[in-house]
A and B are shown apart, each in its own frame.
Chain A
Amino acid sequence: QLQLQESGPGLVKPSETLSLTCTVSGGSMTSSNYHWAWIRQSPGKGLEWFGNIYHSGGAYYNPSLKSGVTMSVDTSKNQFSLKRTSVTAADTGVYYCASAFLTETGLWGFDSWGQGALVIVSS
């Protein structure tokens, strides 16, 4: 089973950029069987999916959260990243990275998750 670990600042000032990195171990990020995801959990909005990225760098995003969001991948380091610009207090939450696998029905299910990184947006 893959292991994932988020890293990045736990405190970000309003209007600044949130940057998180996920390091993957126990497998290769170049596998075509997996995409790589960022998901946020906040008290007011539950679980929110930011988007998936795959090993070639292609990505698809949640239109509701797409503004100011960029995902990138560095397969040589077995890492992928999330950046979100111009954050507000509403971006406070626990950010999870996860691996997504494609099932027979076309569902991308999230089978391995990082432990989560708490990010607080506050001055």
Chain B
Amino acid sequence: AIQLTQSPSSLSASVGDRVTITCRASQGIGGALAWYQQKPGKPPQLLIYDASTLENGVPSRFSGSGSGTDFTLSISGLHPEDFATYYCQQFSDYQCTFGQGTKLEIK
């Protein structure tokens, strides 16, 4: 199965900062990648799919890019509610895997 490796595993930032999280696939997946945000005690919430398409209702400060094996999630101008854990996810050949997560904490 395709493995997804996120970096960093954790990240400290301040309100207003811009942050970038990376997800690397063990083999090429075209643009078939999604990003999720999860807050404690809640299910993951879809932010971005097809590497760069924003899900309805997701603020425009979130953006995604990449193709093949390297992808990024960027958040420009962090809001207090953005401090959470972020996961990437791929689905190819009828198999799904998630990255291990990146915890974004307040500095």
Contacts and interface: CB of A to CB of B under 8 A. Distances in A.
Interface of A: 37, 46-49, 52, 60, 62-64, 96, 98, 103-111, 113-116
A56 to B, nearest CB: 15
Task: Classify chain B: how many residues form its interface, as a range.
Answer: 20 to 34
B63 interface: no
Given A49-B97, A60-B94, A64-B1, A105 B32 contact: yes
B43 A103 contact: no
A108 B46 contact: no
Given A105-B31, A107-B50, A109-B34, A116 B94 contact: no
Interface in B44-97: 44-46, 49-51, 53, 55, 87, 89-92, 94-97
B98 A46 contact: yes
A111 B46 contact: yes
A107 B33 contact: yes
Nearest to B46: A111
B1 A113 contact: no
Given A47-B98, A49-B96, A115-B43, A103 B1 contact: no
A1 to B, nearest CB: 9
Interface centre among A37, A110, A111, by most chain B C-beta atoms within 10 angstroms, is: A110
A115 B38 CA distance: 12
